[in-house]
Structures are given as C-alpha cells and as structure tokens.
Amino acid sequence: MSEDAVIPQAAARSAATVDLDAKVAYLQTLLGPGDEAIETHFAWVFLAGPRAWKLRKPVRRDSMDYSTVEARCHDSEEEVRLNRRLAPHVYLGTLALTHDGSGRLAIGGTGETVDWLVEMRRLDRARMLDALLARGAASEDALARVVRLLAAFYARESAAIRDGAALGARLRRQVEANHQALQTLEPEASAALRDAQLAFLDARRDWIDSRAEGGCIVEAHGDLRPEHILADDPPAVIDCLEFDRNLRILDRAEELAFLELECGRLGHALQGRWLLEACLGQLGDRIAVPMLQFYRSHRAATRGKLYAWRSLEADGGSPDDWRAKARGYLAGALEDARLAARH
C-alpha cells in the first residue's frame, strides 16, 4: 500500500486543479483489505489499517465554512484541539495532503499543500456505546468509566455564561428557531411546543438564573450521542461540534439530558437515565427534575429541527424518512414540555 500515487492527469496540472474527487481517489488507493471510505455530509473518512483520516469537503453552510484550504486547515486543527478534551489518545494531529506538481499526491510529502487531514486512531466500532447497547453488552463498569470521563470534563470546564438573563434570552431564541423549522411539518404541534417551552422559561426564571450563576453553562461537547462514545478502557468521546463554538455552549445537564434522550430512542432509556443521574451525582448537581424535562424537550426539538432542514436538501436522501424522524422528535419534545409544565 503506497503513500503516494499518480492522480488522474486532468487533475494533476496544478494544486489549484486538484479537486475533491482526485483527492478521494488518491486516498482510496491507500486502503487495504478490511479498510473502507465513508462519505458524510461534510467530509470523507478513510479507515486505513490502525488509522482513520478525515478529509473535509470544500463546502460552506451557515456557520460552517470549509471553502478554502486555509479554512480547512484551521478547522482540522480545531477539531483535534477540541476533541482531545475527551479523546486525547484518539486524535493524533493533522497531516498535510501535498501535490508535487508532477502528478503525484502524498500524505506529508514535500510538494505544495493542497488540503489537510485529521489523523485519528481507528476505533473498534463494536466498542461504541450504541453498539454495546444493541448487543446488551454495556456493562456497569464500562458505563461507570464513561461517567467518570464526562464528570471530570464538565468539572474542569470554566463557565461560559454566568448571567441568567443572557441564558434565558439565548434559550428563547433557540426555542423560536426550532419552531420556525418544525412548523413547516406540524404547525399546531410546533406552536404548542413553543408556547409550553416559553411558558416554562417565564415561570422558572429563578432556575435559569441558578444554572447560570452556578457555573453550569460550559463549552461542552455539543453532540453527545451514544455512537460518539467509546465505552472501552480507556473511554473516549469523539466528534464534538468543532465548527461553531456557539453550538457547544450548553448547560452540562442539558447535554446529559440529550444523551439520555438518544439512549431512550435506541430503546435503552434505563441506561440513559443511569448515565445522566450518575454523572450529575458525581458533579454534586442537584438539578430539579422539571428542568431536566425542559432540557430534554429542548434537545429533542433541536434535533427535530435538523431533520426538518435535512428533508429540504436536494442531496439529503429520502425526504419522507427525515420528516418522519423530525415528527418523532417533535412528539417527544412536546410530551416532555408538558411534563415540565406540570410542576
């Protein structure tokens, strides 16, 4: 398996003409038996032996801009820096993808840098939390290791917001943004959800103030789902939302409520609740149950918004499937919002 290869001549004349297809084709030549290339919305991931390489696509979306080599370099470095908070042994660094001007691409070569790769250790998919839960193999010891990792992370992160009024205003803006997306699918349910969530925020301003003033709002992971958690020894959490700090600013309890929500949607609500309560217990966080219900509702609505957006994308797969997922999250969000309002 060679680490340099001649790329198609049409893409080899200059660095400026080395397009994404040529880069992907080259990296695929480095794959061997048992390796694979995985395409996502915004990147290609190449599983090559004991390593994984991530190549960003040159795209621009809202708060995400990967349109230049310089931007992709910056975001690759940020991805490594941020993910080392919870996965220091997984994220190894960045590698230059180079072009020597004679038709050859190489990883870490001597030519002009035409792109950047994030280099990671390749993880055992069977040891990710969603896979363990599916097999009924998520032991208490494995879950406890994850809890210790998360609790230590939240404990050392400094407060990102300490002003209760600012936190309340931020949550209200997010509620309205979720409604704008979800009302295109279910206008009445979305309006009912928005009204219930805003009413909760108005009625529980003291709780919102307490969360902010208590230093509970931190620069978190941003996408704490079971498929991102390596429940091994040592454990790790990968794939944080590196491209927008604003999306990582969360109440630690809100992020843990999201993990509970996602475990529940996989059919493992008991384990999700255990992770939530065990982590909050280690942090000494005595948050009120209705506040957790609100946060779970808010995360479900946010997730539903993403699926509603995806249903509108031309290359986003089956719109009906995305809309069905969005409606499922909306229904769960409304149920939790109503539970929170009862207290």
Q: What is the pLDDT of residues 147-178, one digit of tens each?
A: 999 999 999 999 999 999 999 999 999 999 99
Whether 195 and 201 have beta carbons less than 8 Å apart is answered as no
- 149, 282: one domain: yes
H or E segment and range at residue 132: helix 129-135
Tell me the per-residue pLDDT of 283-329, one tens digit each, with 9 for 90 and over.
999 999 999 999 999 999 999 999 999 898 756 568 999 999 999 99
The sign of the dihedral angle between the CA atoms of 223, 225, 227, 229 is positive
H or E segment and range at residue 43: strand 43-48
- 159, 196: one domain: yes
CA 114-314-75 angle, to 5 degrees, is 30
pLDDT of amino acid 313: 79
Tell me the per-residue pLDDT of 30-68, one tens digit each, with 9 for 90 and over.
999 999 999 998 999 999 999 999 999 999 887 788 999
- 213, 147: one domain: yes
Name the nearest CA neighbour of 29 among 66, 58, 2.
Answer: 2
Tell me the per-residue pLDDT of 210-236, one tens digit each, with 9 for 90 and over.
999 999 999 999 999 999 999 999 999
Q: Following DSSP, what letter does each residue of 223-239 receive, concatenated?
A: ---GGGEE-SSS-EE--
Task: Read off the CATH number of the domain in which 253 is found.
Answer: 3.90.1200.10
Q: Compute the average pLDDT of residues 8-18.
A: 45
Residue 3 has pLDDT above 60, yes or no: no
Residue 145 has pLDDT above 70, yes or no: yes
- 149, 231: one domain: yes
Mark which of 64, 99, 122 sits at the end of a domain.
122
- 134, 114: one domain: no
- 166, 286: one domain: yes
State the angle between helix axes of 269-283 and 140-156 in degrees (0 to 180), rounded to the nearest 10: 40
- 40, 161: one domain: no
| Contacts of residue 139, Cβ cutoff 8 Å, sequence gap at least 6 | none
| Contacts of residue 216, Cβ cutoff 8 Å, sequence gap at least 6 | 159, 251, 252, 253, 285
Tell me the per-residue pLDDT of 62-95, one tens digit each, with 9 for 90 and over.
778 899 999 999 999 999 999 999 999 999 999 9
Name the nearest CA neighbour of 120 among 24, 53, 32.
Answer: 53
Name the nearest CA neighbour of 305 among 168, 173, 216, 203.
Answer: 173
For residue 225, give its domain range: 129-341
110 phi, psi to nearest 5 deg: -100, -5
- 133, 117: one domain: no
Query: What global pTM score does this model have?
Result: 0.92
Mark which of 122, 145, 177 sits at the end of a domain.
122
pLDDT of amino acid 10: 30
Reported as a pLDDT band with limits 50, 70 and 90, residue 13 is very low
- 184, 316: one domain: yes
Across the chain, mean pLDDT equals 93
- 214, 241: one domain: yes
DSSP state of 15: G
- 198, 76: one domain: no
If you search the block for the tokens 């790329």, which residue do you land on? 7
What's the token pair of residue 136? 């009924």
DSSP state of 242: -
- 101, 138: one domain: no
From CA 175, how far away is CA 309, in angstroms rounded? 16
Number of structural domains found in the chain = 2
230 phi, psi to nearest 5 deg: -85, 105
Mark which of 65, 88, 122 sits at the end of a domain.
122
Reduce the secondary structure of 59-109 to three states and give it as a string.
Answer: CEECCEECCCHHHHHHHHHHHHHHHCCCCCCCEEEEEEEEECCCCEEEECC
- Neighbouring C-beta atoms of residue 142, cutoff 10 Å: 19
200 phi, psi to nearest 5 deg: -65, -45
Burial of 2 (0-12, 13-18, 19+ CB in 10 A): exposed
